[in-house]
Amino acid sequence: MNRKFLKRVVYTACCAVVIASCTTTPSGRSQLILKSEAALELEGARQFNIIRETVPLVNNRDTIDYVACVANAIVDELDGPAADMYWELAIVDQPDVNAYVLPGGKIVVKAGLLSVTANQDQLAAVIGHEVAHVTSHHSNERASRAAVTGFGIDVAAILLGGPYGRNTNAAYGALSTGVMFGLSNPFSRKQESEADLIGLEYMAMAGFDPRQSVELWKNMNAANTSRIPEFLSTHPSGDTRIDDLVSHYAKTLALYNQAQAEGKYPDCRR
């Protein structure tokens, strides 16, 4: 197969993928979705069950009720398919300051996170962020992007390094590094920033004070003793996140005031 024909095949395949798989996130950003959402949700449920069976979980009732109260208040604000999803929560008894979400609405909170979330509003900023990853189909988008990116790397490595010999491996390594810095990391940061802002809206709609999201990131910055340059990270820096959150106050404070006027006063206590 000559190189010109191979390029044409790759271009045609990629165009077909783009045409067939365009959708948008809650913020209106266009995204590519290639994977089966049902399959990802099934895998998310499987991994969540493994966590519950193999990892020590917090069994303090007050702590469980506190985190669940915040999560329920936010999930109650969802509509469409996300509102019908079977959301689950696990609080892992580990000191890490972390939380993450699995496809299908499986939220995992590490107990160490509670040491830097000073109140229910700060915890709501984290939970809202994780819920936004689900409603934005970020797991599917990332898996789809990985599939497309991996295919492109294989083809480009062959074209640049030749189909045989050491040069192909060298070209592949250089391209993989370039894709990580030029595509994968900025793409992940884009998702994280989007989840921050969508999550900020969710927490405000539930009656949590969105201004506490900034206080949360001040706490996070103080607790982060091993910062790395933002361009090497899959997450925006704390300072960048604070700037973005503040710039979104006009919208989220209006949502917060509306929620308060509707009598939404979450009362989640530790």
pLDDT in tens, 61-117: 999 999 999 999 999 999 998 999 999 999 999 998 889 998 899 999 999 999 999
Cβ 202 vs Cβ 77: under 8 Å: yes
- As a residue count, the chain comes to 270
Instruction: Say what the pLDDT of residue 40 is.
Output: 83
CA dist 33 and 36 (Å) reads: 8
Instruction: Say what the pLDDT of residue 119 is.
Output: 97
Kindly report the number of other CB atoms within 10 A of residue 245's CB atom.
22
From the first residue on, what is the mean pLDDT of each consecutive set of 10 residues in the chain (270 residues)?
35 38 70 72 90 95 97 96 94 92 92 94 95 87 65 49 44 48 54 89 97 89 60 57 84 97 93
C-alpha dihedral sign at 32, 194, 251, 135: positive
Instruction: Say what the pLDDT of residue 112 is.
Output: 92
Instruction: Say what the pLDDT of residue 252 is.
Output: 95
Cβ 153 vs Cβ 173: under 8 Å: no
CA dist 222 and 216 (Å) reads: 10
Element (H, E) at 22: strand 22-24
Instruction: Say what the pLDDT of residue 253 is.
Output: 97
**Which of 97, 103, 96, 107 has the alpha carbon at shortest distance from 129?**
107
Helix residue spans in 55-184 (DSSP H): 61-75, 81-84, 120-135, 138-161, 166-179
12: its two tokens = 């045609």
CA dist 62 and 45 (Å) reads: 25
CA dist 12 and 259 (Å) reads: 49
Q: What residue has token string 């996140």?
A: 241
Q: Which residues are catalytic?
A: 130
Cβ 240 vs Cβ 230: under 8 Å: yes
Please name the residues in contact with 111: beta carbons below 8 A apart, sequence gap of 6 or more: 58, 63, 91, 92, 93, 94, 95
Please name the residues in contact with 52: beta carbons below 8 A apart, sequence gap of 6 or more: 90
CA dist 164 and 178 (Å) reads: 22
Q: Which residues pair with 109 in a beta bridge?
A: 91, 99
3-state secondary structure of 27: coil
Instruction: Say what the pLDDT of residue 226 is.
Output: 57
Helix residue spans in the chain (DSSP H): 3-20, 37-54, 61-75, 81-84, 120-135, 138-161, 166-179, 185-205, 212-223, 238-247, 249-261
**Which conformational region is residue 50 in: left (phi greater than 0), alpha (psi within -120 to 50 degrees), or beta?**
alpha
Report if pTM > 0.85.
no
pLDDT in tens, 102-133: 889 999 999 999 999 999 999 999 999 999 99
